[in-house]
Amino acid sequence: MQDQTAPITSVNLTHKDLTTLKPKGEYYAAVDLGSNSFHLVVVHVIDGNVQVVSRVKQKVRLAAGLDASNYLDELAMERGWQCLATFADRLKTIPAENIKIVATATLRLATNAHDFVVKAESILSKKLLIISGEEEAAEIYRGVAYTSTTSGNTLVIDIGGASTEVIVGRDMQPLHLHSFNMGCVTYMQHYFVDGIINQQHFANAIAAAKEQIDTHAHAFKCFDWQQALGASGTPQAITDILMHKGIRDEIKLNYLYTLREQCIAAAHIDHLAIDGLAESRRIIFPSGLAILIALFESLAINTMNIAGGALREGIIYGMLDNQPLSDRRAQTIYSCILKFHIDEEQAVAVTYTAMHMFNQISDKLKVSSFDGKNMLYTAAMLHEIGLHIEFKNQHLHGGYILKHSDLAGYTKLQKQCIADLVSYHRGDIPRDALNDYPAEVKENLMQLLKILRIAVVLNIKRTQDKHIAQIAYVNINDEAFEQFWQLDINQDWLNENKLVATELANETWILHKAKQTLKLNKV
């Protein structure tokens, strides 16, 4: 018999070995019995790296089964039990101690919740926990904080089917939270009766939401948050609509007003058709939109980004308190370096050069909430992520990989910006590059792109030449910063690095075609 402890090499690896190797790490699962949808997420944890391996979501609309006395009807419970039967099959292979199942607003409200829970626990062969609104809010914040790196005080909003959680937190700690008894399923039933959508119904829904929110608004506003994040649901649906329209921007109140008018124009939920809106969210979209408008107006929210996680992720990370998961972005970058065989020394060299350049122009960049320095850092570290596929179109492969990867620690807009920086870091810059972004974001991205491209050229010999760090990188014409840059570079060093000199000359021509000026000043 083959020695199972002997190391397996490319010489003695057999088909039998491939089918009998034991997987490393552990599997964890979280089940969230929400008021609109039931969710199951399964992750594989190896050396602190959390990889989602399975997501299952089913529209159960449990809250639709609540009557005026909060009695949950049999039909709604049956929909829930059928869904859990499919979840139970997936949970069989996961250790019981690595599974957590929670229920939220509808089962908090239901007077006959016990009837549902007893049968649900029998189906799952696991304990089901009905958590309070405050517990739900805390778990949501944990899920957001672990998957979307926060900057200073952060406002987090999660609009569920029967409740809406609002939290202000800093780093990993929630500072103030509240669970409101309003949700997209319950508001659809109460304020858009028989599916009729009109101005008055929207006004009534928004007024009802604001009546609840305004009582607590001051307590949230006093924390003076630096960013607002929406945790899935309605904010995600709106982002999908904007992306479908080619708008790569944060959620803003004027977008919400435009979508409200589109809903009103439809007149009835059966006729509501908005490009980019998933069919599964159509029925509850107007009510979720009304609640989000109320939150924007009452809390004076200017812009909102999409968080990387919510309740399910909070439950998962709550079970992983002993895992080294504190720096999500660093972990994401390191995981990509390993997974895609990136030359780490070259990545560090390019990043080192890029950061020196960025520090010289950072005060010239227009104010933006998308955190340009961290995005440039990430793009520089991962700019060769597509090289393992092939050389010629590595930048295009890299942009595609990043666009479709789950980058923990980054918002959806940040991930798109990083992907585009990598897509355009070499070769010609297309005439319509970055045109889908708002003007301010586009201008900032173009400057980050120029830094990245120059940093790549200066390190093209892959020698990690320490003399590069001594170059006085950029002198800027303040009156035409976006278009005109002067690169001061040592003549002797350039004479010794003719390949770099040639590539820099080529770069000036490429930037000229993109209506950007790069002047080489040899000193």
Q: Give 220-271 pLDDT, tens digit per residue.
A: 999 989 899 998 789 999 999 998 998 888 999 999 999 999 999 999 999 9
At residue 364, the pLDDT reads 72
57 burial type by CB count under 10 A (0-12 exposed, 13-18 middle, 19+ buried): middle
Rounded Cα distance, 323 and 372, in Å: 29
Q: What is the pLDDT of residues 61-100, one digit of tens each?
A: 999 999 999 999 999 999 999 999 999 999 999 999 999 9
pLDDT band at 491 (very low <50, low <70, confident <90, very high): confident
Residue 252: φ, ψ to 5°: -130, 160
Q: What is the pLDDT of residues 420-431, one digit of tens each?
A: 999 999 999 998
E strands, 88-226, in order? 99-103, 129-130, 153-159, 164-170, 173-180
At residue 148, the pLDDT reads 81
pTM of the model: 0.77
pLDDT band at 7 (very low <50, low <70, confident <90, very high): very low
At residue 330, the pLDDT reads 82
The CA-CA-CA angle for residues 44, 46, 49, to 5°, reads 85
Q: Is there a shared CATH topology between the 134-314 domain and the 330-522 domain? A: no
At residue 60, the pLDDT reads 94
Q: What is the mean pLDDT of the chain?
A: 87
Rounded Cα distance, 132 and 414, in Å: 33
Q: What is the pLDDT of residues 133-152, one digit of tens each?
A: 999 999 999 999 888 877 78
Q: What is the pLDDT of residues 308-352, one digit of tens each?
A: 888 998 999 888 865 544 467 887 898 899 889 999 999 999 998
**CB atoms inside a 10 Å sphere around CB 353:** 23
At residue 2, the pLDDT reads 43
At residue 8, the pLDDT reads 39
Rounded Cα distance, 204 and 429, in Å: 49
The residue ranges of every structural domain in the chain are 24-131, 134-314, 330-522
Rounded Cα distance, 279 and 273, in Å: 9
**Could you write out the DSSP letters of every residue in 430-449?**
-TTTTTTS-HHHHHHHHHHH
Higher-confidence residue of 56 and 462: namely: 56
Rounded Cα distance, 434 and 446, in Å: 8
Q: Mean per-residue pLDDT for 7-27?
A: 52
Q: Considering only the top CATH level, what class is 330-522?
A: mainly alpha
At residue 522, the pLDDT reads 82
Of 46-50, 156-160, 285-289, 459-463, the least confident: 46-50
At residue 17, the pLDDT reads 47
Higher-confidence residue of 441 and 296: namely: 296
Q: Mean per-residue pLDDT for 290-294?
A: 98
**CB atoms inside a 10 Å sphere around CB 110:** 25
pLDDT band at 408 (very low <50, low <70, confident <90, very high): confident
* Start-end of H helices in 319-461: 328-339, 344-361, 372-381, 394-403, 412-423, 439-458
The CA-CA-CA angle for residues 414, 171, 47, to 5°, reads 80
What is the architecture, at CATH level 2, of domain 24-131? 2-Layer Sandwich (3.30)
Rg of the chain over all Cα atoms, to the nearest angstrom? 26
Assigned CATH topology for domain 134-314:
Nucleotidyltransferase; domain 5 (3.30.420)
Q: β-strand 303-306 against 475-476: which pairing, if any?
A: unpaired
Q: Mean per-residue pLDDT for 168-195?
A: 94
Q: β-strand 99-103 against 129-130: which pairing, if any?
A: parallel
Q: β-strand 475-476 against 227-230: which pairing, if any?
A: unpaired
Distances (CA, A) of 338 to 232, 308, 416: 29, 22, 21
3-state secondary structure of 388: coil
Among 217, 333, 312, 203, smallest CA distance to 263 is for: 203
Say whether pLDDT at 400 is over 50: yes
At residue 482, the pLDDT reads 61
Say whether pLDDT at 154 is over 60: yes
Residues in the chain: 523
Element (DSSP H or E) covering residue 520: strand 517-522
The alpha carbon of residue 80 and the mean position of all alpha carbons in its chain are separated, in whole angstroms, by 28
